[in-house]
Amino acid sequence: MTLKTGSSNSEAIAAWLLLAPALMLLGIFVIWPIAYLFYLSFTTGSFTRTGIHWHGWQNYQRLLIDPDFWQVLANTAYFTIATVIPSLVLPLGLAVLLNQAIALRGLLRTSYFIPSITSLVAVGLGFRWLFQPDGPVNEWLLSLGIAPVPWLSSPVWAMPVLILLSFWKQIGFNMVVFLAGLQAIPTTRYEAAELDGAGTWQKFWHITLPGLRPTLIFATVTTVIFTLRSFEQVYVITGGGPLNSTNILVYYIYEQAFAQFDLGYAAAAATILMAIALLLVYVQMRTWDKETS
């Protein structure tokens, strides 16, 4: 009994020693910044001679009564929903097609995945050029007899340009995720369905979608988080305008922190963003547990 206890203690000590470097890095670069962010959300001031001072819940109260913050939340919800839905539907359709034995399948997979590894800043500059008043998109509309559209100076059309960029950027990643999920579905299920006379749509609805449910959950959560943390496209293309119509939560936090130097207020907004992300991760884990059980 003594030998077993000593052995288990030595194994525990060895495990903690092996985990120590990773736990130190996690504490320094993840846990401490989150804790300090939460602390900053209850302060006012800046990192200057005046310093920061305890402010209580006033930053959160300001957020609740600030109409700009509610507009930013509405913009973020619109941007997220309008980006996530096509970013799941189209990659799923592409993955189903590319999972078949078609010609040039490898080349097509590579072509669709390229946007995922392209710099968002470079792509944003390209989109800004495409949608200029005298850019290629308006020239194409003129050739069709359609009046040019003020894409980036219109409160109506500026957000769809950002949505199009984010959607285009996310296609390749989600397609690869869905391809991996499709290849994990046993082919015997499709063979049995064909013997029962099931058509293409029936196989997709009753075999493919149920088999991809865990993958769909993962892709949905990762796409929502990718969309919520969007910053580069707003910074490069619209700067939050026109009339605050494209100002989303991460850009709003950046403006409050580094343009207005209101660090406590920015930290409170960032805490709310973190809470939304953690809630999404919690929903994913609970749903995943239900699927696996």
Domains belonging to the chain, first-starting first, are 65-292 (1.10.3720.10)
Whether a cis peptide bond, with omega within 30° of 0, leads into 210 is: no
CB–CB of 152/161 below 8 Å?
Answer: yes
Whether a cis peptide bond, with omega within 30° of 0, leads into 91 is: no
The residue type found at 232 is E
Low-confidence ranges of the chain (pLDDT < 70): 1-8, 47-51, 101-104, 288-293
β-bridge pairing 43-45 and 52-54? antiparallel
Which residues, in sequence order, are CB contacts of 47 under 8 Å at separation 6+? 263
Can you read off the two tokens belonging to residue 138?
């308006």
Report pTM. 0.86
Can you read off the two tokens belonging to residue 68?
């700009």
CB atoms closer than 10 angstroms to residue 205 = 12
- What is the distance, to the nearest Å, from the Cα of residue 99 to the centroid of all Cα atoms in its chain? 25
Can you read off the two tokens belonging to residue 184?
């994990």
Dihedrals phi, psi of 44, to nearest 5 degrees: -135, 165
pLDDT of residue 65: 92
pLDDT in tens, 101-138: 665 677 777 888 888 888 888 899 999 999 998 889 99
Can you read off the two tokens belonging to residue 160?
């769809």
Angle between helices 213-228 and 263-292 (to 10 degrees): 180
Distance between CA atoms of residues 96 and 208, nearest Å: 9
The residue type found at 241 is G
Distance between CA atoms of residues 43 and 59, nearest Å: 8
Burial of 4 (0-12, 13-18, 19+ CB in 10 A): exposed
Distance between CA atoms of residues 47 and 263, nearest Å: 9
Can you read off the two tokens belonging to residue 268?
């409170």
pLDDT of residue 80: 92
Distance between CA atoms of residues 258 and 267, nearest Å: 12
pLDDT of residue 3: 46
pLDDT of residue 190: 81
pLDDT of residue 56: 83
Closest by CA to 170, choosing from 211, 214, 114, is 114
pLDDT of residue 104: 64
